[in-house]
């Protein structure tokens, strides 16, 4: 997937609007995942901005290791969500689980945190 928007208001330049409600959910349902989420939020704060146009230069200034760490931790969160779905459903409900896993964690691949270390990004092998 390619990032095709510039200057998208609010969350267009930040993962924090997606990660903040996710943290609230994880705190109640899967507190063991909080350290991963804290890592993601810490890195995301370094390039958060009101728009993609402002966030892109901050993202580019991050060390490749930090970009890769964010990609990896978001991938691990997605894998964890999928693998412990039954646990989440015993501690929450299907609507909450789907909202958090489908609308927040799954956004990782369409953020500037996957693919190459530059913005915009594409999924490896994508045209």
What band does 126 get if pLDDT is binned at 50, 70 and 90?
A: very low
88-114 per-position pLDDT tens digit = 888 888 888 777 776 444 444 333 433
C-alpha–C-alpha distance, residues 93 and 96, integer Å: 5
| DSSP states along 64-115 | HHHHHHHHHHHHHHHHHHHHTHHHHHHHS-HHHHHHHHHHTGGGGGGTTTSS
Of 121, 112, 41, the C-alpha closest to 77 is 41
C-alpha distance from residue 91 to each of 56, 81, 82 (Å): 37, 13, 15
Region 47-61: mean pLDDT is 89
- Residue 24 token pair: 């609230």
Model pTM score: 0.69
18-37 per-position pLDDT tens digit = 898 889 888 989 999 999 99
C-alpha distance from residue 18 to each of 12, 62, 65 (Å): 11, 20, 22
């Amino acid at each position: 997937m390619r990032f095709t928007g510039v200057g998208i208001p609010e969350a267009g330049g930040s993962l924090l609007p997606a990660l903040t409600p996710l943290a609230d959910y994880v705190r109640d349902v899967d507190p063991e995942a909080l350290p991963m989420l804290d890592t993601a939020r810490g890195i995301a704060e370094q390039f958060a901005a009101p728009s993609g146009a402002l966030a892109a230069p901050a993202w580019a200034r991050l060390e490749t290791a930090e970009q890769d760490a964010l990609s990896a931790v978001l991938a691990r969160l997605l894998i964890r969500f999928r693998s412990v779905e039954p646990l989440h459903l015993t501690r929450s409900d299907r609507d909450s689980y789907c909202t958090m896993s489908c609308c927040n964690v799954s956004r990782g691949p369409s953020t500037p945190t996957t693919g190459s270390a530059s913005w915009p990004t594409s999924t490896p092998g994508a045209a």
